[in-house]
Amino acid sequence: PEEVAEIYGEKPRKLDVMIPTENIEEFFPQWYKRYGSSAGLLCKGNGKVATAMMDAGGMGEVECHGRECTFYQEKACKQIGNLQIILPKVKGLGVYQIDTSSWNSIVNINSGLKMVKGMLGRMSWIPLVLEVKMQEAHPTVNGKKIKTIVPVMSVTSDISVCDLLKMRLPARQAEIVNSGVDDKPDLLFPGKDGS
């Protein structure tokens, strides 16, 4: 978009981003999807259950085999992640979406977000960086594993770990439970005579 190109140029390799919510299913849904050339979406699954076009027409629920599915192995189905992000340096309140069918990008983004959440107790509204770097991959082509270098996205931070840790959620107050103490001390609940 024009407003993004104004800040980052036409083909940025690095974006300052923030995640808008803690629910990964809302901001980074990941599905196995199969499309037809004229029929549009034929199947959408999560690795366990899918909604698929039935032979009789209409959509129905079927078992999803994920990477073990014949359609996936024949490259007719792809795992797709739809990453929705806030670009804090871009004017406006827009949410932008970047789609990827790169297994390596999906793994890297999930791992980066899991690390942030593990360190800080949250991942939303933390200044992060979405970056594309060249990474070694080992796809199988014609039954043989090959080594190749491919562009892959990852979520990182330009902030030091010490500064990131300052954004950590405060520790929850411990609840003190002492069964040997009266819950209603006399000083707080005066007797009938006002004492």
What is the structure's pLDDT at 183?
55
Measure the CA–CA gap between 155 and 163, rounded to whole angstroms. Answer: 17
Comparing 94 with 31, the larger pLDDT belongs to 31
Distance of alpha carbon 154 from alpha carbon 136, whole angstroms: 14
* Model pLDDT for residues 165-180, shown as the tens digit of each residue: 887 766 555 555 555 5
Interval 102-136: pLDDT, tens? 999 999 999 999 999 998 888 999 999 999 999 88
| Separation of alpha carbons 162 and 164, rounded Å | 5
Is residue 146 within 8 Å of 139, Cβ to Cβ?
yes
pLDDT value of position 64: 95
- pLDDT at residue 185 is higher than 60: no
CA distance 194 to 145: 86
